[in-house]
């Protein structure tokens, strides 16, 4: 057994949590601390590009018990700044497992602090709000100074760090979809590829280049950080809206809202979990959803749209549509499967919207 390496997590408000250094945790590492409430799916969370700039706190106390497999990676790398856990499993048990989480974290040089009372940390974030922090083996004073100098995610362009460098394609379905990669999860690509030939383009791609591909529809993916930092794409959407159906998810939802004249805001501690209840205003049905966002669209701020979904935990706007422009979006992740598949119908709605556009009708997404 290797010797325990003491480490600390120091929040910008001075609160200190003692723990053990795991993985590549020597020195000091900083970011904005958020918490995620999932009990499984830790590999998908760690590889989700939407966590760029953030330190992920897992509220569930036992992480890593079923190991990891390359098939569950959601991106080409790990973009989060690190992770905070209560207990990192030493033994993995699952037929799909290829290695243990501890080894996987070391290989990817992900800093981790373990042995932390993550429930206490979560309660603190809920009261005080998501805030900058630093952790590692460095002295407390150094960690505090680093935490207080950490810019967080507001006003920072994180999309440019995670978007694809080059255009690529996937799938061979009957529909031609161009997907803007704002930090796109692989599951989104796979889901779209089930019914379309998907051309994934960088976030900076001009609308003219997208239209030259003659798409049946345009998809706006998830991604990290402040939607106002994606201003170039907001402007390009003005050229696309009304000419081709548009479907946005998560950051894509926020970017679409801004392009339609709406406003966004930073939430106190965001939504990060796999069991968030959302009501569909059209049907009255409640969907159990997977979510990961620190920013949201201000309800009532987007002119000319129908607000289609609302979070039952706190009333946050979770969906909208602009029927006259053949565009709609949701804040949550219908491609994810936190257990139920309640929201998969949204991809069928996208197909219906593209079919209506191809037929020259003015039908809108339900």
Told to judge if 74 belongs to the known catalytic residues of this protein, a careful annotator would answer no
Told to judge if 62 belongs to the known catalytic residues of this protein, a careful annotator would answer no
Told to judge if 145 belongs to the known catalytic residues of this protein, a careful annotator would answer no
Round the CA-based radius of gyration of the chain to a whole number and report it.
20
Which of 124, 253, 293, 333 is flagged as catalytic? 333
Which of 80, 150, 236, 250 is flagged as catalytic? 250
**Other C-beta atoms lying within 10 Å of the C-beta of residue 304:** 11
Q: How far apart are CA 30 and CA 136, in angstroms?
A: 9
Which residues are known catalytic residues?
Answer: 250, 333, 335
């Amino acid at each position: 057994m290797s010797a325990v390496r003491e480490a600390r997590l120091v929040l910008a408000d001075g609160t200190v949590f003692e723990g053990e250094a795991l993985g590549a945790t020597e020195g000091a590492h900083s970011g904005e601390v958020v918490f995620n409430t999932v009990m499984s799916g830790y590999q998908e969370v760690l590889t989700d590009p939407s966590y760029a700039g953030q330190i992920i706190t897992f509220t569930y106390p036992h992480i890593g018990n079923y190991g990891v497999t390359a098939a569950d990676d959601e991106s080409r790398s790990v973009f989060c700044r690190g992770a905070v856990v209560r207990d990192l499993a030493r033994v993995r048990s699952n037929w799909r497992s290829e290695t243990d989480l501890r080894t996987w974290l070391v290989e990817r040089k992900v800093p981790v602090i373990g042995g932390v009372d993550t429930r206490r940390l979560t309660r603190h974030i809920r009261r005080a709000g998501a805030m900058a922090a630093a952790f590692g083996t460095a002295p407390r004073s150094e960690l505090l100074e680093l935490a207080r100098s950490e810019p967080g995610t507001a006003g920072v362009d994180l999309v440019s760090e995670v978007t694809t460098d080059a255009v690529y394609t996937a799938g061979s379905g009957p529909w031609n979809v161009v997907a803007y990669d704002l930090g796109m999860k692989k599951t989104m690509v796979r889901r779209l590829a089930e019914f379309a030939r998907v051309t994934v383009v960088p976030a900076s791609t001009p609308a003219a280049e997208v239209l030259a591909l003659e798409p049946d529809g345009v998809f706006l993916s998830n991604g990290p950080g402040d939607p106002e930092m994606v201003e170039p794409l907001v402007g390009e959407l003005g050229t696309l809206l009304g000419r081709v159906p548009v479907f946005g998810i998560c950051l894509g939802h926020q970017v679409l809202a801004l392009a339609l004249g709406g406003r966004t805001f930073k939430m106190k501690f965001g939504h990060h979990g796999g069991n968030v209840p959302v009501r569909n205003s059209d049907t009255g049905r409640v969907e159990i959803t997977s979510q990961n966002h620190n920013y949201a669209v201000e309800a009532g701020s987007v002119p000319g749209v129908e607000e289609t979904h609302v979070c039952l935990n706190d009333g946050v706007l979770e969906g909208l549509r602009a029927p006259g422009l053949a565009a709609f979006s949701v804040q949550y992740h219908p491609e994810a499967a936190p257990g139920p598949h309640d929201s998969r119908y949204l991809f069928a709605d996208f197909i219906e919207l593209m079919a209506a556009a191809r037929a020259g009708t003015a039908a809108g997404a339900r």
